[in-house]
Structure 1
Amino acid sequence: MIARLAARVAEARKQRGLPRRVLSEMSGVSPRYLAQLEAGEGNISVLLLQRIAEALDVRIELLLAEDTAPDHDVQRVAALYRQAPAGVQQQVSGILTPQNPNLMRAGRICLIGLRGAGKSTLGQMAGDALGIPFVELNRDIEELADMPLNDVMSFYGDAGYRRLEAQALERVSARHDRVVLAVAGGIVAEERTFTHLLERFHTVWIKTTPAEHMQRVRAQGDHRPMQGNPAAMAHLKDLLQARTPFYAQAEGQVDTSDRAVRSSLNDLLAVIAKQRFLDRPS
């Protein structure tokens, strides 16, 4: 690592055309210390290295990365991408996406569908069975907002929740190459977020009957779908009908109606194996 750091600092200094003396003045690090650093003999502190990185206009992590550090043009493009609006970022990602879409999705599995179908239960069990992390996106949203989900909805409203949902999805995509993710049923309401989901994850629609949806939600201790709302079942059926075209875009389906949890898990694992969701295409 020290040898790699020495080469990176020396190369960055030469690319900027800076004599060691000038870099010393810009960073506040002595020329003698810089010479030792570039020779692979310096035991530099993180704070001093940060000052050198700033003087070289290079992010400190690029000096330490195991793979080849990008040149200044690549760094500049990366900075422009980070500062661009979400729409521009999406266009750039679309241009750079490999022709084989499975390359982007490989290893990432997302369970979609209405609440009460069994996404969280099956997601956790599938993650354990496959030896990969399970993430529930709403828990990640709570972490981002630093408050419970009910407070998120009260404080930010639906529009604010959708923004946090998009950020959380991006964060999960960036953090995990292999993961089972469960998302809220309404993620299909935001076209850009749902498109991102379909691009980055293999999807499985976890489905059941409206009656079982309602029964399971009530079994979780949430009686709101029934209290003071005699038309709740009709509303649930309308909601399911409206969202079915979106859920049907999933690459696989698992129907949990009248099925034991273990049987539904076996069905899900069979879909994952048959579709080879965890394989990385060559």
Structure 2
Amino acid sequence: MTDLSPSEDIGGALIARLAARVAEARKLRGLSRRVLSEMSGVSPRYLAQLEAGEGNISVLLLQRVASALDLQIEALLAEGMPMDHEAERITTLFRQAPPQVQQQVCGLLAPQNPKVMRAGRICLIGLRGAGKSTLGRMAGEALGIPFVELNHDIEADTDMPLAEVMAFYGEDGYRKLEAEALERASAKHDKMILAVAGGIVAQPDTYARLLERFHTVWIKTSPAEHMQRVRGQGDLRPMEGNPAAMAHLKTLLESRIPLYQKAEAQVNTTNRAVRSSANDLLAVIAKHRFLDGAK
């Protein structure tokens, strides 16, 4: 007796799974093979072969069968348990709903199993100069997942540098663009590391959605290092016209600490080399299993 090759084993398992799911879906809907044949345009004989695991059906014909059963074709082929009929209906309704309705649904479901909602998506929060961009980029490269800076996404979407965005749209307009960019990022990526502006935590609705959809890590450092790093980036705005800049920075950080503490984890970069801080971030991601369960 000749052993099957791995590809033949996989193919046989796929055909058997497909046969069982087509038969089960047809019976759940109370359809005879003849009725399913009329609905799908696939002959009863071909359907009988398909349900017996003897048919090598084409993708186009399988799509007809799936549509007649009111299923996505993926539900017939997926390795895991397929969604039942009601779950398929809910999925279709969700896809067709406007973004605000989708947000409401996600808000209702997230508390039931928040880890599933956040799985694979990591967001770095904290004041500017803490190291979010540098560490996020390094961690993304190490883990092989995308790194996104939300402000860069806003610049790409508006086709303006951030300074012009702020001047043209004002603070309120920028916050609206920020919320929209967050929606785009969470919709586009199942796995990612995101870096956001320090003030996003002061926007209750946007921050609530961020905490709902992302595992969060507070990247923190001392006020002195915040100031030094911002200066090192060539941005003197925190010092312009503000002789008490350090006092202002300390007050701002103090006021936001309760908000930043909502993060699931922290990485302190004070007096740490960049590579050491990047390793700290990777260790936090592994310890908390932030990538577990992601697609």
Partner SS state of residue 147, structure 2: strand
- Equivalent residues, number: 268
**Structure 1 counterpart of 2:242, which letter?**
A
Contact 2:123 2:196 in 1 (8 A): yes
Measured at CA, do residues 52 and 166 of structure 1 come closer, stay the same or move farther in structure 2, by a change above 3 Å? same
- The answer to whether the aligner puts 1:93 opposite 2:110 as a matched pair is yes
Partner SS state of residue 244, structure 1: helix
Contact 2:37 2:47 in 1 (8 A): yes
After TM superposition, give the deviation of residue 141 of structure 1 in Å.
4.2
Partner residue of 2:72 out of 59, 71, 79: 59
- The answer to whether the aligner puts 1:230 opposite 2:247 as a matched pair is no
- The answer to whether the aligner puts 1:29 opposite 2:46 as a matched pair is no
Segment drifting more, 261-270 vs 139-148: 139-148
Aligned to 1:169: 186
Structure 2, unaligned stretches of length 5 or more?
1-13
Aligned to 2:263: 250
Contact 1:63 1:69 in 2 (8 A): yes
Segment drifting more, 77-86 vs 150-159: 150-159
After TM superposition, give the deviation of residue 127 of structure 1 in Å.
4.8
Partner SS state of residue 266, structure 2: strand
Q: C-alpha distance in 2, partners of 1:218/1:106?
A: 35
Segment drifting more, 14-23 vs 188-197: 188-197
The TM-score, its normalising length taken from structure 2, stands at 0.70
- The answer to whether the aligner puts 1:187 opposite 2:200 as a matched pair is yes
After TM superposition, give the deviation of residue 139 of structure 1 in Å.
8.1
Aligned to 2:17: 4
Aligned to 2:55: 42
Q: C-alpha distance in 2, partners of 1:9/1:148?
A: 52
CA RMSD of aligned residues (A): 3.9
Aligned-residue identity in percent? 58
After TM superposition, give the deviation of residue 165 of structure 1 in Å.
0.6
Structure 1, unaligned stretches of length 5 or more?
none
Aligned to 1:278: 289
Measured at CA, do residues 146 and 59 of structure 1 come closer, stay the same or move farther in structure 2, by a change above 3 Å? farther
Q: C-alpha distance in 1, partners of 2:116/2:144?
A: 18
